[in-house]
Amino acid sequence: MFSMQTQWNREMSNECLIVGLHKPGNPLSGVLAACDEAMDQHISQLIKSGDISDSKKSITLIHTLGKVMTKRIIVIGFGRENQVTEEDWKEALGMAFRKVKELRLNQVSIDLDSLAGANIPLERAAQLLGEVYMLSLYTFDGYKQNNIKAPVEIKEITLLSESGKTALLQENAHLGAIYGSGTNYARTLVNLPPNILTATKMAEYAKELANQYQFELEVLNKEEMERLGMGALLAVNQGSVEPPAMIVLKYQGKSEWKDVIGLVGKGITYDTGGYSLKPRESMVGMKTDMGGAAAVLGAMRVIGELKPEQNVVAVIASTDNVVSAEAFKPDDVIVSLSGKTIEVLNTDAEGRLVLADAVTYAKQHGADYLVDVATLTGGVIVALGNEMTGVFTNNDEFLKKVKRASEKSGEPMWQLPITAKDRERVRGSKIADLNNSPGREGHAIMGAAFVGEFAENTPWVHLDIAGTSVSKKSSSLHTHGATGVMAKTLAQLVVDFSS
């Protein structure tokens, strides 16, 4: 996918050359200066006249009209070198990739040296470039009969650098592409409609990953869940004609099965709310209620590719949450896998129920650290909006590591508290150990605190991605629809643990 070259020259024949430009654009240096000279100073003149912009997130396409063998040049403006953020940098580069795709070019050269700068060192730029390539070119083709003409793939990307670090840069670009494609994998799962992506289908996707990467796979069916006593997951599934699935993937990167990270995902393939039925407007979109499961599977893909020296057990609890004469009801009392009893006050607080059994099951499989990822509450959207994932923990040391991974991945999160009083509220049932819906006040916290009851003393982090798993605004990295959020962060966390 990425090849390297050390120098640009006017004889290099390309469909397109991408170069970066930091403010102030003139005087030019590097490849762009060489192009400028070969093109009778046209480039520097266009910068002077403002036709080529050096402002952040601006891209300009110019034709070389035979002056050099490169047919087109796309100039990416980044603004000031010491002001550009990774987010803006990635968006700007994504805009350039989009442009190349729009032009239906399958080959491009990129002057990596000019993309890097004070805030984005060269090695980092290479990795981010690989990621942006994947994220910006992602499409979910959908099911339209008269589909738009198939996009042309950018198959050949030549990275130019005079740094003498070509091998490392190529490796980094490849690494970034692996993280990006893990994210894209998660996005596709989330975008799939709920009649197609059932729990059974989710298990098939997990099986594919297991075959591809030699993970150990276990998929529990309903009878096995009944025998084990997974009463919480079974209750949510009770009204459905679609069988549930408890999916376990094990990756052993160490010689012994110890020091295990458990990645737990909420895999509700459709959430109607059950008898605590959602209003019609809030039900639309609930096919994305398996975003946590998708993030975990996306991360497992990255882990399968990178094979870090770390043990991982991924656990996904999957079912839909629907209504029928057999469905579970508010006022039911159920017994979870842990033995803890739960009074169901709201069948729409189903995520925490399936997570309860998944967290317990991850512990039974030896998890020493737990991260659960879930589109758990509308409350977290009210609290933090659509840009920040809500994060909760029972262990600040472990949280630090998760936050570090989130920063590296560009997937921001913000901590919300769980206090002793919050725990009292989830324990506040008169007839059972726990209550699944203690009221609207702080209900993102209630969801988290409930799941925390099952983590017990194991270091645990809960990620509520209800606001971040789907994006409303579109940028060059994310069209509307699934973001695949947390696939990168989870994989990064595992990689960080291994080093």
Considering CB distances under 5 to 8 angstroms, the limit depending on partner class, which of Mn ion, Zn ion, ligand BES, none binds residue 429? none
Stretch that binds ligand BES, among 171-179, 214-222, 324-332, 376-384 (CB under 6 A): 376-384
User: Which residue minimizes CB distance to Mn ion?
Assistant: 348
Among residues 94, 351, 447, 484, the one that binds Zn ion under rule CB under 5 A: 351
Q: What DSSP string describes 151-180?
A: PPP--EEEEE--SS-HHHHHHHHHHHHHHH
Give 229: exposed, middle or buried? Use CB within 10 Å, 0-12, 13-18, 19+.
Answer: middle
Residues interacting with Mn ion, by CB under 5 A?
271, 348, 350
Q: The dihedral of CA 65, 71, 74, 75: what is its sign?
A: negative
Shortest distance, position 422 Cβ to ligand BES, whole Å: 14
Contact 59, 91 (CB under 8 A): no
Active site residue 352: yes
Contact 385, 409 (CB under 8 A): no
Shortest distance, position 340 Cβ to ligand BES, whole Å: 18
Q: Which of 415, 413, 412, 408 is nearest to 495 (CA)?
A: 408
Shortest distance, position 348 Cβ to Mn ion, whole Å: 4
Kindly name the residue from 187, 352, 363, 401 that is annotated as catalytic.
352
Shortest distance, position 274 Cβ to Zn ion, whole Å: 10
Told to check if 271 binds Zn ion by CB under 5 A, we report yes
Which residues are within 8 A (CB) of 463 and not within 5 positions of it... i.e. 6 or more apart?
Answer: 292, 371, 372, 373, 374, 389, 390, 391, 402, 413, 486
Q: Is 40 annotated as a binding residue?
A: no
Q: Could you tell me whether strands 58-63 and 72-80 are parallel, antiparallel, or unpaired per DSSP bridges?
A: antiparallel
Told to check if 350 binds ligand BES by CB under 6 A, we report yes
Among residues 377, 389, 393, 471, the one that binds ligand BES under rule CB under 6 A: 377
Distance separating alpha carbons of residues 150 and 385, to the nearest angstrom: 35
Kindly name the residue from 23, 71, 165, 278 that is annotated as catalytic.
278
Q: Is 222 annotated as a binding residue?
A: no
CA angle in degrees (0–180, nearest 5) for 265-489-471:
75
Which stretches of 285-343 are assigned E, i.e. beta strand?
Answer: 311-321, 333-335, 341-343
Residues 18-47 that bind ligand BES (CB under 6 A): none
Q: Is 401 annotated as a binding residue?
A: no
Would you say 225 or 383 has its CB closer to ligand BES?
383
Look up residue 333 and give its amino acid: V
Q: Is 289 annotated as a binding residue?
A: yes
Told to check if 272 binds ligand BES by CB under 6 A, we report no
Q: Is 350 annotated as a binding residue?
A: yes
Active site residue 278: yes
Q: Judged by CB under 5 A, how many residues of this single chain contact Zn ion? A: 4
Told to check if 466 binds ligand BES by CB under 6 A, we report yes
Contact 50, 57 (CB under 8 A): no
Contact 277, 351 (CB under 8 A): no
Distance separating alpha carbons of residues 435 and 377, to the nearest angstrom: 16
- Active site (catalytic) residues: 278, 352
Residues of each annotated binding site for Mn(2+)? 266, 271, 289, 348, 350
Residues near ligand BES (CB under 6 A) are: 271, 289, 346, 348-351, 375-379, 437, 443, 466
Binding positions for Zn ion, rule: CB under 5 A: 268, 271, 289, 351
Binding-site positions: 266, 271, 289, 348, 350
